[in-house]
A and B are shown apart, each in its own frame.
Chain A
Amino acid sequence: MAFNTLVSVCFLYACFLFAVAFWAEKRAERGRLGWLRSPLVYTLSLSVYCTAWTFYGAVGYAARSGLEFATIYIGPTLVMVGWWWILRKLVRIGRTHKITSVADLISSRYGKSTALGVIVTLFAVIGTTPYIALQLQSVTQAFGVFASAAPEGFGRVDSEATGLYVAGGLALFTILFGTRNLDANERHHGVVIAIALEAVVKLVALLGVGIFTVWGVAGGFGDVMGRIEASGFATLDLMPSRMIGLTFLAAAAFLTLPRMFQVLVVENADERHLYTAAWAFPLYVMLMSLFVLPIAVVGLQHFGAGANPDMFVLTLPLDFDRNALAMLSFLGGFSSATSMVIVAAIALSTMVSNHIVLPVWLSLTRDEGDRLREPGDLRALVLMARRLSILGVLALGYLYFQLSGGSGALAAIGLVSFSGVAQVLPAMLGGIFWRGATRTGALAGLVAGFAIWAYTLFLPSFGEGAVMGAQMLAQGPFGITALRPQALFGLAGIDPVVHAVIWSMLVNTGLFVAVSLVSFPDPIERMQGAQFVNVFDHSTAARSDVADGIAAEDLLVLSQRILGPVSAQDLFQRAAAAQGNAGYLPDPTRDFLAELERELAGSVGAATAHAMLAQITGGTVVSVEDLMAVAGETAQIMEYSAQLEAKSAELARTARALRQANEKLTLLSIQKDGFLSQISHELRTPMTSIRAFSEILREGDIEAAARARYAGIIHTEAQRLTRLLDDLLDLSVLESGTVRLNWGRCNLHDVIERAVQAALGGERATGVTVQRAAMSEHVALETDADRLAQVFINLVSNAAKYCNAPAATLRIATRKHVDAAGVDWIEVDFIDNGQGIAGADQAVIFEKFSRAGETVRAGGAGLGLAICREIMSNLGGTISYVPGQGGAAFRVALPRLRHDRGRR
């Protein structure tokens, strides 16, 4: 097969991937995702776990160590089948808090710590770089295999140049499809589809080679089984400790590898996809591993012990001149390598830009006055940071690949990486299951674990003399044997990987737990911890902790830079509409800020988003005081609402009072109209008589007797008018309370005597007989004697006018009594023996212009009793009608002494 053909096919395949990714992106833009986001695609995308290491290296691993290779598959299978609920929790947390990466998860959980974000990012870069190098190496090696298989067409294959091209091409793809959009929540549809497609290619290729090996090279399944039996794989000594250690490592790495987190959590479109993946992914992995052992055995037997077993999947079909199959196999390996690199680069670039580049940039620009309004698009900056990070990550991988010179078996590098990233596990699991985990604990555990990993595994992995001298490895630093890198504290005689894992995880977990127990989380940590651990209780309630009083405009400016103008304006407009505001500026409420922080976190990570908002809001740290302020604010709101309730009740009361006042006014208005109309009537009636008779008299020609009579009528009516006006004025003064009372001491007997004389005068013959009990009347009073007499006169003359009994009698009875309050009261009853006052009239006799029965005889305007009532009220007493006394009965009651008035 010509080299050009290989390059062309490679190029075409790459073009095809670009096209598929591009098509998926377009479809996603139009919102027609459909099956692009099916559980199947999610499951296939998880296959980034199976890198070139798995594709090529598994066979090599099997050829060297037998069944041990299976641990790499058992680990994730165990996680998927047995511990998928951990994944579910991770996915829920990731979606709820818009987590963008492992570093973001750890940073966010431990109080949005920048330090933790940086550290995890650094570890991830260090741990992943060799892995990327591994992929580059595998692709280059694959090219090399083709070159050596068909040297005539290849010329001189420059492995470094190949590596560079591959790295460059991958960088291009990753930048194109990995940084199209900023918000991780929008996800990388193109990339995921391309990866799912590559997953299929991988599987088909490996199955193809496997089937060819079993049925094409060997004599079928039975033959292969026999060969395996004969090869001695079955009897290879399996170290249980190493098996367990490797299984644990694979399981841990499945959770903590940046690329796995990316596809598992960040790219997850639907939590329920996990249920499918829980069985489908183990199935995929099982199919991938199905032919590993046969290929290894057949390859070993075919090529002999000297051949590189890592390349058996390529060399076997090539050696049998199955060029197409070899091509497919090459593409499978190529797919494995590229998918891993692409996803890893995306994940790492997100971490690097969010946790290193942006915080540094923010801290550099922090002091420059109006930092958010300065020219320059933050969004462009973030995208640039991502792109540069991708380039940086791939450059690092390439550099490592070049420096290591393709040394070491693929599997070895993979394990070193695994145990590196596994250091995140305690902080991760502790963070989502244990509220007591603290930032200090996580920091201590991570740093210690990573240091031990570096010392015991990573640095020695470069080989003797590369970083650590042979002497140091053999005898420890400065000859301290207890500190020998691969036999710490005398734990010698076990596999270096297991040794490193045991020590690093032990110290890591131990410190994490111990330091967490003795340290106290700050308020943000406490809240984040509660939200992460109890994520299923309140998935929607990721809170932001920023103070109020922020200009919404500043927030919009910031958000536009990060989310882009369209998305930011859309977000703000929606929030404003939800709050009932028109336009683009919602009130910076706590809820809105929380939502905004989550949105921003999707682009720049939780810690950075928090820091950015905190910059605007001015409070970078949420202290106990801040929490107290929040609590105080809540209390204020509650108090305010209580005040509002009180106010509203008060308003209701006022409204009721107003309504009553209005009713009263309406009534008064009607009464006033009635009063005026009554006055008019009372004035016009005597005037009518006066006018008529005066006209008659003026005309003359009237006999003397009639003239005298008419003049008498005029005189009477004029008197009536005068009396009416006097009464009206009197009533007006009494009603307004401006009456001048002449308080003084007097004897009740004298007052009654005066009244009877005044009322009856010389008419005693015509009128009533007055019966009195003079003895009881001698009571010393403190009152206005004239006014009291006026009341009595009214009552006596009323009796004289209205009492129609044949022998009219008026009985005046006086009695004293002391009420419950200890006030001396005088009661004077005026009871005649007439027909009394009808029940209906009793209610109105004290009203103005009310006259019971006929008017004429009374000769008054009907104001007498109204005036009496006002006088008694002014004197501090009462006047009332007492029914059932055989005739009209009025009772006047008043306090004996002035200071007791108004006490009844």
Chain B
Amino acid sequence: MRVLLIEDEPNITEALRFVLSRDGWLVDTHADGATALRAIADKAPQVIVLDVMLPNRSGFEILRDLRAQGSSVPVLMLTARGQQRDRDLAQAAGATAFMTKPFSNADIVAALRALRPSDAPRVSP
């Protein structure tokens, strides 16, 4: 399972890489807003973790464009501003889940597990 972390704070990226790798994810990272969409296309992750406040481009805009391109990949949005307005904006932009920094490692692991699409077609018993 591939997850793409789009986050500009290197320390946070490092922490998440550690935690998610331990949970079995293949973790790719990207730190710049302007080139985020290309990174998504390149890495073709099953799940995306997207920060709002990125250099050069806001996470909301990236998500809107992604959804406009027809992608339905699950996206977990992270924000440090923690306001209701951000939650609404995220929902409107097409976020699948939303978390406010700081978060506990267990929460984000659980959230990403919930977003993980079933890896194999279910066989009826």
Asked if chains A and B come from one complex, the reply is: yes
Using a CB–CB cutoff of 8 Å, the interface residues on chain A facing chain B are 677, 680-681, 684-693, 695-696, 713, 716-717, 854-856
Is B14 located at the chain interface by the 8 A CB criterion?
yes
Do the beta carbons of A854 and B55 come within 8 Å of each other? yes
| From A680, A684, A689, A716, contact of B15 by CB (8 A) | A689
Using a CB–CB cutoff of 8 Å, the interface residues on chain B facing chain A are 8-12, 14-16, 18-19, 53, 55, 80-83, 100-106
Complex-state Cα separation, A476 to B19, whole angstroms: 150
Complex-state Cα separation, A686 to B11, whole angstroms: 8
Do the beta carbons of B11 and A713 come within 8 Å of each other? yes
Complex-state Cα separation, A692 to B8, whole angstroms: 16
Do the beta carbons of B8 and A684 come within 8 Å of each other? no
Number of A-B contacts (CB under 8 A): 62
Task: With both chains docked as a complex, state the minimum distance between the C-beta of B90 and any C-beta of chain A, in angstroms.
Answer: 15
> Which of A677, A692, A695, A717 has the most chain B CB within a 10 Å cutoff?
A692
Do the beta carbons of B8 and A855 come within 8 Å of each other? yes
CB-defined contacts of A695 to chain B, threshold 8 Å: 104-106
CB-defined contacts of B14 to chain A, threshold 8 Å: 713
| From B18, B55, B80, B106, contact of A685 by CB (8 A) | B80
Jot down 9 A-B pairs with beta carbons below 8 A, ordered by A: A680-B80, A684-B101, A685-B80, A688-B9, A688-B12, A689-B12, A696-B18, A713-B11, A855-B55
Task: With both chains docked as a complex, state the minimum distance between the C-beta of B111 and any C-beta of chain A, in angstroms.
Answer: 14
Complex-state Cα separation, A684 to B53, whole angstroms: 12
Complex-state Cα separation, A692 to B19, whole angstroms: 9
CB-defined contacts of B80 to chain A, threshold 8 Å: 680-681, 684-685, 688
Known: A696-B19, A854-B55. A689 touches B11 (CB 8 A): yes
Known: A689-B15, A855-B55. A684 touches B10 (CB 8 A): no
Known: A692-B19, A693-B15, A696-B15. A684 touches B102 (CB 8 A): yes
Task: With both chains docked as a complex, state the minimum distance between the C-beta of B67 and any C-beta of chain A, in angstroms.
Answer: 24
| From A677, A696, A713, A854, contact of B81 by CB (8 A) | A677
CB-defined contacts of B81 to chain A, threshold 8 Å: 677, 680-681, 684
Do the beta carbons of A685 and B101 come within 8 Å of each other? yes
Do the beta carbons of B101 and A856 come within 8 Å of each other? no
CB-defined contacts of A681 to chain B, threshold 8 Å: 53, 80-81
Do the beta carbons of B9 and A856 come within 8 Å of each other? yes
Do the beta carbons of B105 and A692 come within 8 Å of each other? yes
Do the beta carbons of A691 and B9 come within 8 Å of each other? no
Complex-state Cα separation, A687 to B15, whole angstroms: 12
> Which of B80, B100, B103, B104 has the most chain A CB within a 10 Å cutoff?
B80
Complex-state Cα separation, A716 to B9, whole angstroms: 13
| From A687, A693, A696, A854, contact of B101 by CB (8 A) | A687
CB-defined contacts of A684 to chain B, threshold 8 Å: 80-82, 100-102
| From B10, B16, B55, B100, contact of A692 by CB (8 A) | B16
Complex-state Cα separation, A803 to B42, whole angstroms: 33
Residue of A nearest to B81 (CB): A677
CB-defined contacts of B53 to chain A, threshold 8 Å: 681
Complex-state Cα separation, A689 to B10, whole angstroms: 9
Known: A692-B19, A696-B15, A855-B8. A680 touches B104 (CB 8 A): no
Do the beta carbons of B82 and A685 come within 8 Å of each other? no
Do the beta carbons of A688 and B18 come within 8 Å of each other? no
Task: With both chains docked as a complex, state the minimum distance between the C-beta of B98 and any C-beta of chain A, in angstroms.
Answer: 14
Complex-state Cα separation, A855 to B7, whole angstroms: 13
Complex-state Cα separation, A854 to B100, whole angstroms: 23
Do the beta carbons of B8 and A688 come within 8 Å of each other? no
Complex-state Cα separation, A689 to B14, whole angstroms: 9
Do the beta carbons of A677 and B12 come within 8 Å of each other? no
Residue of A nearest to B11 (CB): A689
Complex-state Cα separation, A685 to B51, whole angstroms: 11
CB-defined contacts of B100 to chain A, threshold 8 Å: 684
Known: A680-B82, A681-B81. A691 touches B10 (CB 8 A): no
Task: With both chains docked as a complex, state the minimum distance between the C-beta of B69 and any C-beta of chain A, in angstroms.
Answer: 27
Complex-state Cα separation, A854 to B10, whole angstroms: 12
CB-defined contacts of A685 to chain B, threshold 8 Å: 9, 12, 80, 101
Complex-state Cα separation, A780 to B99, whole angstroms: 56
CB-defined contacts of A693 to chain B, threshold 8 Å: 11, 15
Complex-state Cα separation, A501 to B83, whole angstroms: 112
Complex-state Cα separation, A35 to B101, whole angstroms: 101
Complex-state Cα separation, A690 to B101, whole angstroms: 11
CB-defined contacts of A690 to chain B, threshold 8 Å: 102
Known: A681-B53, A717-B11, A854-B55. A692 touches B83 (CB 8 A): no
